[in-house]
Amino acid sequence: MSPVHRPFLLRVLPLLLGVLLAGCAAPAPRDAAEGDIREAVAAWSRTPPAQLARIPLEGWAYEVSAVRRDGERATARAELRYRLTGYDRAAAGSAREVLLSRDGGAWRVTGDRAAPGAPPQLWDQGPVEVVEGAHALVLGAGGSPQTLSEVAAEAERAVPAASAAWPKPWAGRVVVLVPGSLERMAQLLGRPAAEYRGMGAVTTGRVGAASAPADRVVVNPEGWAELSAAGRGVVLTHEVTHVATRAATTARTPLWLSEGFADWAAYRGGSTTAQQGAPALGRAVRAGELPAALPADGAFAFGGDPQALARAYEGAWLACRLIAAKWGDTTLVRLYERAGREPLATALEETVGGDLPGLTLAWQASLRQELGAP
């Protein structure tokens, strides 16, 4: 998920007045009790909670930004920073509230929780179970052990499949979160549950962020349960491919290329035909509704017509499938790399030797040929 940049207000005049009124006066001393509270949080946060003992953590620390007292109780607003050892290239962050009470004159931490408006961490939803393999760290809370085992096994297969499709350097390891329900999945992502209903999994992360923490693949256990064994493989390989290609993906990358490439990687090497993998688009083509253009970015937005969304994903997959078949897998990878750092027109000219209208015509012809007959 891309970071949200909120506008800010420059309070120039009040700042100047504050300087004039304060002159050279020393800053007001910090309340002694606040210092004790900060020290209590620092002492408490030196060791991760016992329920996280099985998770490979490093750099665990709470940085207090504000303290609010109410008699014998207090709340410290803090930023939790940590890394998952072997997976995160940079510290992950989480806005938290640390709760304290005064006992016998000393402040003691009684617990912590997600700050208002901030999404919870997986461990806020219950005890965390851990399955770690050669390629994946799978963390679950509140769900069935069977689902956790299934996801872990599929993740071990998905990482090599993504690496085969994307032979460029990447971590080659993935973190997968398995909450106990669709609602809890939505809580982790800070979005309405309706946006993820029917989905098997999603990936979080910042495009083009080579130094960001590792992406998290978040599984919807309810959507996962509805998938066939083959469907689970496709979904998880698709999401892991997003992780693999993250550093090469930027705001320039068209979604038909990023989503289509992930599906191409997921279906690659299998026997799925165009008609089997693109049923919604096939029905449209046979009804005479041939797409006039490759799917626009807006076509991939969730919450609208599910059939239109399916057609967008299917059309994107078939576009990338066409490029790989006509110009080769290596050309498709090169196109992906170049499209993230230069205009698409330039990337197409330097890879397939054509332009977007030409690619669109070739794609439309392939749709007629592969989907036009029942």
Which of 248, 280, 302 is the endpoint of a domain? 248
Residue ranges making up the domain that contains 141: 136-248
* 99 and 167 share one domain: no
Which tens digit of pLDDT belongs to each residue from 16-43?
223 333 344 444 445 668 999 999 999 9
pLDDT at 33: 84
* 255 and 231 share one domain: no
- Least-confidence region, from 15-19, 256-260, 312-316: 15-19
Q: Are 280 and 366 in contact (CB under 8 A)?
A: no
3-state secondary structure of 184: helix
Which tens digit of pLDDT belongs to each residue from 199-212?
999 998 766 555 56
**Count H helices, E strands: the chain?**
13, 9
Q: Look at residue 205 and tell me if it is in a domain.
A: yes
Q: Look at residue 60 and tell me if it is in a domain.
A: yes
- Full-model pTM: 0.87
* 55 and 104 share one domain: yes
Which of 248, 279, 312 is the endpoint of a domain? 248
Q: Look at residue 94 and tell me if it is in a domain.
A: yes
Which of 221, 248, 275 is the endpoint of a domain? 248
pLDDT at 31: 66
* 197 and 231 share one domain: yes
Place of tokens 């399955």: 131
Confidence of residue 104 (pLDDT cuts 50, 70, 90): confident
Task: Give the dihedral of Cα atoms 250, 253, 256, 262; nearest 10 deg.
Answer: -50
How many domains does the structure of the chain reveal? 3
* 162 and 217 share one domain: yes
* 114 and 147 share one domain: no
Rounded Cα distance between 239 and 216, Å, is 9
Q: Look at residue 19 and tell me if it is in a domain.
A: no
* 170 and 227 share one domain: yes
- 319 has a pLDDT exceeding 60: yes
Q: What is the mean pLDDT of residues 6-20?
A: 31
pLDDT at 50: 83
Q: Are 211 and 200 in contact (CB under 8 A)?
A: no
* 259 and 364 share one domain: yes
3-state secondary structure of 148: helix
Rounded Cα distance between 213 and 210, Å, is 8
Rounded Cα distance between 209 and 227, Å, is 31
